[in-house]
Amino acid sequence: MDFHGKRVLITGVAGFIGSNLADRLLELGANVISVDNLFNGRLENLDIALKNKNFEFHKGDIRDLNFLLDLFKDVDIVYHQAAFTSVPQSVIMPNNCNDVNVNGVLNILNAARRMDVEKIIFASSSSVYGDTPTLPKREDMRRLPISPYGVAKLASEAYMQVYHQVYGLKTTSLRYFNVFGPRQRDSPYSGVIAIWLGRIIRDDDLIVFGDGKNSRDFTYIKDVVQANILAAEHDAPGEILNIGANLPITLTELAKLMLKITNKEHLNIIYTDPRPGDIIHSYADISKAMELIKFKPQYNQEQGLKDYFKWYINKYEIELQIN
């Protein structure tokens, strides 16, 4: 698709995924209209985008329909990335999670419908599968979420499909599998890779929740951005697509790999109680995305980790040697 002259709206643009997507769309020549309430998102993630004349930023909340209606005028594509993102936090605050991740999605869909938006691409999550035993996870499998967060993402995907079937909106949900990379920060509610990188930098041991056998299909941000671009280029209306690296790794393997890459093998891996709401294994079958939108991941975890760590070291001027 030629993005020149296209008006593309991104919600959650100041977040880790939204901001990376904005930079890429601007490179491709799109006009990017963007929204963030700056609750989790940070303006520093928009350092590059804010210098671009084709970028427009609005501070506001996706739960405010009138605000959305104004912004959605003449928009061609909406990327809905704004979300309550933490699984453990959703266990503590299920209502807040539902408010943002379900009511917020309905607002987006209603605004898109009223303003005739051509296409909506939604950030869903592998958490919808829960702990069903079959691996890898296929889109047509049973979904049994085991956290309020997973329930909310499942409900939102269903709304995406129904708004396609009932109102004809072109909606596509991308089920992300543990995304990591530049702009992911070390905070208690961040993903495990960012948290462990922070600990490595402070020379702290790595803490594993559970026995270390939990596995995840960690997916590098550049591959997720690529999937979003492809979902705009290829029509997959009403579809749900897994977006993962297709390379599962256990937490113990990940911890060892991170220690090796950073020359910190003297640090220990400490095992503690499992975290409530956690699923055990997550591993994506990506054949549907490969077929429908021609998705093909380019990064394995080691390449992605090295790329991310180098970015982090450079950005925060940290002394750490990467192998």
Closest contact distance (angstroms) between CB of 148 and ligand UD1 is 12
Least separation in angstroms between residue 153's CB and ligand UD1 is 7
34 vs 178, beta carbon nearer ligand UD1: 178
Minimal distance in Å, beta carbon 201 to ligand UD1? 14
Cβ distance 215 to 251 under 8 Å? Answer: yes
**Cβ closest to ligand UD1, residue 143 vs residue 216:** 216
Q: Is 215 in the site for ligand UD1 (CB under 6 A)?
A: no
Window 31 to 90, contacts with ligand UD1 (CB under 6 A): 85-87
Whichever of 111 and 155 has its CB closer to ligand UD1, that residue is 155
Q: Check residue 126 for interaction with ligand UD1 (CB under 6 A).
A: yes
Half-sphere exposure of 49 (CA within 13 A, CB side): 29
The nearest distance, CB 40 to ligand UD1, in angstroms, is 10
CA gap 101, 131 in Å, rounded? 21
Q: Which is nearer to ligand UD1, 39 or 189 (CB)?
A: 189
Contact call for residue 220 and ligand UD1 (CB under 6 A)? no
**Of residues 99, 144, 209, 320, which one binds ligand UD1 by CB under 6 A?**
209
Choosing from 46, 100, 174, 208, the residue that interacts with ligand UD1 (CB under 6 A) is 208
d(CA 272, CA 38): 33
Could you say whether residue 251 binds ligand UD1 (CB under 6 A)?
yes
With CB under 6 A as the contact rule, the residue among 58, 234, 275, 306 that binds ligand UD1 is 275
> Do the Cβ atoms of 65 and 4 come closer than 8 Å?
no
With CB under 6 A, what is the number of residues at the site for ligand UD1?
22
Instruction: Name, in order, each residue with C-beta under 8 angstroms of 308's C-beta and a sequence gap of 6 or more.
Output: 180, 181, 182, 184, 193, 197, 220, 221
Q: Applying CB under 6 A, does 225 fall inside the site for ligand UD1?
A: no
Q: What's the one-letter identity of residue 274?
A: P
Between 198 and 237, name the residue whose CB sits nearer to ligand UD1.
198
Closest contact distance (angstroms) between CB of 7 and ligand UD1 is 28
Considering only residues 166 to 205 of the shown chain, the ones binding ligand UD1 according to CB under 6 A are 176-178, 189-192, 195
Stretch that binds ligand UD1, among 101-109, 207-215, 295-303, 308-316 (CB under 6 A): 207-215
Residue among 54 and 250 whose Cβ is closer to ligand UD1? 250
**Which residues in this chain contact ligand UD1 in the complex, by CB under 6 A?**
85-87, 125-127, 176-178, 189-192, 195, 207-209, 214, 216, 251, 275, 278
